[in-house]
Amino acid sequence: MTKIQSLSLILSGFAILLVTGCQTSIKSPEDELRLALAQKLMIDARYYCPTNSKGERCVKPLTQLTPDLADMVANTNLGGIILFAENLDSPEQITRLNNDLQNAAQNSSRQIPLFISVDQEGGRVVRLPRQYATSFSGNMAIGATFAKHQDKFAQQVGQVIGAELSAVGFNVNHAPTVDVNVNAQNPVINVRSFGENVDLVSELGASMTDAMQKQNVIATLKHFPGHGDTNVDSHTGLPVVKHDIERITQVELAPFQYAIDKGIAKMIMTAHIQYPSLDNTQFVSKAGESMTLPATMSRKILTNLLRNKMQFDGVVITDALDMKGISDYFTEDEAVINTFAAGADIALMPFKVRTPHDLNKADLLLDKLVAATKAGRLDRQEILDSAQRIMKLKQTYNLSSAYQGTLDQKLTEVKNVLANKKHKKIEAELAIESVTLIKGKGKIKPGANAIHIVMPDQNKCKAMLNAFAQDHQYFITCSNFTTGNAVHTKQSINSADVLIFGSIYPNQSAVEMGGMEDLSKMKNKLNRQSWPKSTQMKDMKALFSSAKEAGKQTIFISLRAPYEVTQFYNESTDIIATYSYNQSVGQDQVISGLAFEALAQILTGKREAHGQLPVTVVKP
């Protein structure tokens, strides 16, 4: 048996021995403990500046593995790495980077392949470039198809995302989101959820997970114990869920339990959320404040509940530890120690590596984790058991296959898999089948000639106009909602027979924009973007109302979470929801998006809207 064909972990008392074809000598107990702890770390290298001075901020995306980073991976026997959109330029570049990362792992003393992970949920949260990969309309769009198609699209989307990620060298996807979105004000989950119905979320989440894992990509069910009933984003704060245990069991925990019982839950991600009914233990934050433990740090939640009561025997990974739901209250080292003590197997993004000055952070952290174990803060056997779970998962999904085949062979597969005709056909079908008619007939009225469209920004105007480009029976104009000329917009509305308003609710969250690294920059970007302000929405509502009173057809399009349709219900003759507004620039520099193309087909009567709301919209 060759080392490529065999990867197993043997735990015997204090020793971990990796067998790779021929038996290696057993290291000291401390070496084996250190190896186990290293396997429990998953870092990011979103940016890396080889020549930066100490203390200088690095904003150069890492798209090519540098020799010093490769050495760090090899020398530490690191367990995994997560990549972000900044790391991913093109299919060829992504494949080379992941190949180089696995080669670095192969050069380690134990030759344990890396977990290489990414957030490729589909819809609003994707990391692979939209112009090269199949991005889909997202989970709530899938939920909208359930009444007609059951779990068809959950299976197909899981299969496609898994196949495309596997082709470019990823083996872990932090998806699907199985939070039950029962809070209309949820700022971070909303359309990332399949819906508000527990059974629907459970079935679709399990189907997507199973399909993805059949492509040899480990799915990550998130965010345990549930992020669906929060009105705070854990990227920017620490949410709290105050329901009683009975309600939490029936709603928040149910999709996770469903996947566990079916035997397909292999990895579960924790949420940085306080659940006082599950654990009201207090801790003192780094600022000296007494607070309730978040789930990521709770042994009662991760070990007593998830591991023991719910019988989950897979790998528990934390959400990113740089999120403010953790980083505002714990130091980097204490965050890792506390989450390992709680029962987490993998610490995601425990520290930043941005310059050569950061390359020793892994060794320094491992020193502190070894010391914490010797001091009794961490249980040695639990660390070894945790490493065994990690190694078992790597072996089950044959991660060592990354060492097989040449780079040229991998690049050939990428060309055949990414965004191929079959995948793009499924993406287009989901976009059209998920469109939901909430009010009216959803079609441009007979005899209409002039149509004016109002969109949140110029790119969405262009995508909508391009979607109508082949239909010459209408005179169509489009204005930018927040930065366009208000007088010109009113004039265009006055001369139109039909007014179409596309709106986005709520604002983008940090995870949609990429992560926590540039939160201040993202806030500035959000402030500059065309998200409707309350006064602007009030003005648009008044325009809609007057247009309807004048006999015009007023069509409201919810491009994201459909809860917003309530405030435009009475002013609209027709209301449609798409759950998505993805657009990309093609090689011909034309801006397009499948949601807009689906809208054009439905508005012109070429297709029917078959979607059904997977969440409750309160009608006035």
Q: Establish how many alpha carbons lie within 13 A of residue 420's alpha carbon, considering only the half-sphere containing its beta carbon.
A: 13
Pairing of strands 574-577, 584-585: unpaired
Asked if 191 and 124 count as a contact pair (C-beta separation under 8 A), the reply is yes
Q: Residue 23 CB: number of other CB atoms within 10 A?
A: 10
| Residue of 319, 358, 497, 518 marked catalytic | 319
For 419, the token pair is 């965004």
Instruction: Copy the structure tokens of residue 320.
Output: 């990113």
* Residues 539, 65: Cα–Cα separation, whole Å: 51
Q: What is the DSSP string of 349-408?
A: EEEE--SGGGTTHHHHHHHHHHHHHHTTSS-HHHHHHHHHHHHHHHHHTTGGGGGSS-HH
Residue 577: phi and psi, rounded to 5, are -120, 140
Bridge pairing between strands 584-585 and 591-592 = antiparallel
Element (H, E) at 465: helix 458-467
Distance CA 338, CA 446 (A): 65
Query: Any idea what DSSP says for residue 309?
Result: I
Q: How far, rounded to the nearest angstrom, does the alpha carbon of residue 529 sit from its chain's CA centroid? A: 22
Q: How many CB atoms lie within 10 A of CB 549?
A: 10
Which one, of 111, 39, 116, 115, lies nearest residue 344 by Cα?
39
3-state secondary structure of 602: helix
Q: How far is CA 481 from CA 56, 451, 502, in A?
A: 39, 15, 9
Residue 38: CB atoms within 10 Å: 22
Query: CB under 8 Å to 498, separation ≥6 — which residues?
Result: 444, 445, 448, 450, 451, 452, 552, 553, 554, 555
Counting DSSP H helices and E strands in the chain, the numbers are 22, 20
Report d(CA 607, CA 85) in Å as an integer: 34
Q: Does residue 385 have an active-site annotation?
A: no
Task: Using alpha carbons, select from 90, 39, 33, 40 the residue that is nearest to residue 64.
Answer: 90
User: How many other CB atoms sit within 10 Å of the CB of residue 60?
Assistant: 15
| Structure token pair of residue 253 | 């925990």
Q: Annotate 394-430 with b (16+ C-beta within 10 A) or e (fewer).
A: bbebebbbbbeeeeeebbebbeebbbeeebeebbbbb
For the record, the structure tokens of 568 come out as: 């435009």
Specify the DSSP class assigned to residue 22: B
Residues known to be catalytic? 319
